[in-house]
Amino acid sequence: MIEITDITAGSPAEKAGIRAGDCLISVNDTVICDVLDYRYAITDSTLTVRVMRQGEECAFTLKKREYDDPGLGFATALMDEKRTCGNHCIFCFIDQNPKGMRSTIYFKDDDARLSFLQGSYITLTNLTDHDVERIIKMHMAVNVSVQTTDPLLRNKMLGNKKAGDSLKYLWQMGKAGVPMNCQIVLCPTWNDGDNLHKTLADLFSMVPAVQSIAVVPFGQTKFRQHLCPIPAFTQETARAAIEQIEAVQRWSLSANGSRIVYAADELYLLAGLPLPEDDAYEDYPQYENGVGMLRYLMNEFYDALEDAEYDGDTRFLTIATGTAAAPFLDKMMRDLEAKIPAVHCQVIPVLNDFYGHSITVAGLLTYQDLLAQLSGRDLGEAVLLTETCLRHDDVFLDDRSREELEAALGTKVIKTRVDGYVLLDTVLGYAEGE
């Protein structure tokens, strides 16, 4: 049973007489153990909800439109505890954090329910037969971090002797037509080359259940000294991977009408190659995995710039970002200035001294690096930062806040969304950000 912590005012649950403090037993004869059972059970327009109230079982009938929420609130989104990761992956970024950071930094989840709710990737290693039966019954979409379909290699890469065996769930879900987006964290000399070819071939055998595949280069911080050695990507190894992926894309376009597999933006940057054009990303199925994010941002920005008008005062601002995105943002700002000379926005690439210079994404910038590299410079009216480098409460990875950075720099610090339209509006002063 799961305690109902609150009831939405005016909701079907309130109208039926369910109260906060009641304990949910079942919905339409489905016993509710967690959010998956609940989401699956509440799709009908008439619900029979059984609860335990002060030791007595009570039944209520709820009437709602098919996709309305019944109005029951619970203590956690999962209605249960998170499932932690039991793997020891050789490429795990969490293991590459220094000691002494906040405890949440070190938490590893590997929960199929979070895959459904938030799009996170799971390794399948802590699933049970019952879990997979439920996923198939509900036909819920899942994101799977595959790495390799070679069972023995997967055992080694995931540091878990169950990792290879758990691939049976991948085949089982594929056969049942469960929608899956897959991820391969590419590690030179481990799962590249022939191993990558085998993995892609196996995943393509499950199309259309496998809807997309992202190939993402592993991130290497300076805190790997006592971890399994993995060679850093070179321009040559990154280019070899892209050539392999693009060859598979060409085949897939003729066979499936879609590329299916995509390389992350970072792999193109490591290879020193231009990003693909917009149509190469199709409908951007792996956007949240860093595939096409830069191209999409530029598309939005230039669409907005085409119709932009400005009749305000002269403006001068600063964008602080990681070294990966800096050249792209700098070109965007120079093109903006060419059209609207009254607006100047400098782009400052911030080296990641905290994690090491091989970490180039803006989302992993820290307060201390931003402060050290922005202090003493003319920053103009404000500094713009991507929201990805801040937690929901405006705190950086090293536990310092945006407000503290603002005070230390003596300049307003604006948090912006990864959205080209919002970026242009913020630079022009039409949107002030947060």
Q: What is the pLDDT of residues 207-256, one digit of tens each?
A: 999 999 999 999 999 988 888 999 999 999 999 999 999 999 999 999 99
Position with higher pLDDT, 111 vs 95: 95
Least confident stretch, 38-47, 345-354, 387-396: 38-47
Say how far apart CA 221 and CA 95 lie, in whole Å.
10
Mean pLDDT of 68-74: 88
pLDDT digits (tens, 9 = 90+) for 252-290: 999 999 999 999 999 999 999 999 999 999 999 999 899
How many CA atoms are closer than 13 Å to the CA of 420, on its beta-carbon side?
20
What percent of the chain is modeled with pLDDT above 70? 94
What's the mean pLDDT in 93-101?
Answer: 80
Percent of the chain with pLDDT over 90: 72
Q: By C-alpha distance, which of 317, 321, 337, 339 is closest to 329?
A: 321
Residue type, 25: I
- What is residue 393's predicted lDDT score, i.e. its pLDDT? 85
**Which is more confidently placed, 410 or 100?**
410
- R_g over Cα of the chain: 24
pLDDT of residue 204: 97
Nearest to 321 by CA among 294, 344, 341: 294
Check if CATH label 3.80.30.10 holds for domain 94-289. Answer: yes
Which CA distances in Å does 373 have to 341, 378, 385, 409?
27, 12, 14, 11
Residue 330 neighbours by CB distance under 10 Å: 17
- Output 364 or 431, whichever has higher pLDDT: 364
| Model confidence band, residue 109 (pLDDT cutoffs 50, 70, 90) | low
Lowest-confidence range among 106-120, 141-155, 378-392?
Answer: 106-120
pLDDT at 419: 94
Arch. (CATH architecture) of 2-74: Roll (2.30)
Q: Region 355-372: what's the mean pLDDT? A: 94
Domain ranges in the chain are 2-74, 94-289, 297-428
Residue 80 has pLDDT above 60, yes or no: yes
Domain 297-428, CATH 3.10.450 — does that match?
Answer: no
pTM, two decimal places:
0.84
Residue entry with tokens 């002030």? 432
What per-residue confidence (pLDDT) applies to 121? 86
Highest-scoring range by mean pLDDT, 267-271, 308-312, 390-394:
267-271
Please report which confidence band the pLDDT of residue 160 belongs to, taking 50, 70 and 90 as the band edges.
very high
Mean pLDDT for 128-138 is 89
Per DSSP bridges, beta strands 382-386 and 315-322 are parallel
